[in-house]
Amino acid sequence: MAKKEFGEGAIYTITNYIWWFFLGNFYFALTNILFIFVWLGTSAQGDTGFNLITVISLLPTGPALVALLSVMGKLVRDKDVDMTKDFFRAYKKNFFEALFYWAGLLVILSVLYVDVLYFNSNTKLAMLKMFLTVIAFIVISMALYIFPIISRFYFKVKDVLKTSFYYSIKKFPITVINWILFVGLTYMAAKITSPLILMFFWSVLCYLIMLNTKPILNELEDKYVDRQEEKQINIENE
């Protein structure tokens, strides 16, 4: 059996992935420092509920999330990534587009949340509450496609929304797995408040979502790569 070159062994690969996940999670937290401070401040005062300040502090999360999805997508495809360079390059490139979609998501979910709270006080409006819950499910299902898509491709807003809605229905098994990953890992992180989990949580979640949506992203690439360059190609050529 031929000797493996340095950098080809399993231990080397595993340690690389651990480092990449840790560094990606650190940069995600760093770019969400506003929310962290607000959350710590409100928690210290015993206020852990919904409020406008918390929602505003969540605005930077959108660009940070898309940047993390971008680098995790590259890791899924290439099995290698320059985490520092690629994260902040993707953060800069996708900032305003990610902020646009993320702000829209926050507004929609905030309105739905307030409406559901209102309907909770009136048992006669139970059907409306159920309807709003279904709307929230559809919106979040689409969001689980929107952000991976914009992390890799340049599409018009209407095309992103149509594509996300289409695949959330057509590829329903992938949609279900995205939900399981999102809800399951979030629940686990909330219940197991271990610093070790918090050090890797968002990177692992984004990696698994990009791995799960890889067939869809590859399908989009096959359809549109001749008419539109990938963001990753544009970024790397600069």
Does residue 40 fall inside a structural domain? yes
**Least confident stretch, 19-28, 109-118, 131-140:** 109-118
Nearest alpha carbon to residue 68 among 100, 28, 31, 113: 28
Q: CB within 8 A of 169, min separation 6: which ones?
A: 175
Nearest alpha carbon to residue 17 among 78, 96, 92: 78
Does residue 177 fall inside a structural domain? yes
Does residue 128 fall inside a structural domain? yes
Residue 230 DSSP SS3: strand
Residue numbers of the domain that contains 86: 10-236
Q: How confident is the model at residue 49 (pLDDT cuts 50, 70, 90)?
A: low
The 10s digit of each residue's pLDDT in 150-189 is 999 989 999 999 999 999 999 999 999 999 999 988 888 7
Does residue 172 fall inside a structural domain? yes
Separation of alpha carbons 89 and 83, rounded Å: 10
- Beta-bridge mates of residue 144: none
Q: How confident is the model at residue 10 (pLDDT cuts 50, 70, 90)?
A: confident
Does residue 4 fall inside a structural domain? no
The 10s digit of each residue's pLDDT in 137-152 is 999 999 999 999 999 9
Count: domains in the chain: 1
Q: CB within 8 A of 24, min separation 6: which ones?
A: 68, 71, 72, 83, 87, 202, 203, 206
Q: What is the pTM of this model?
A: 0.87
Residue 121 DSSP SS3: coil
Does residue 129 fall inside a structural domain? yes
Does residue 1 fall inside a structural domain? no
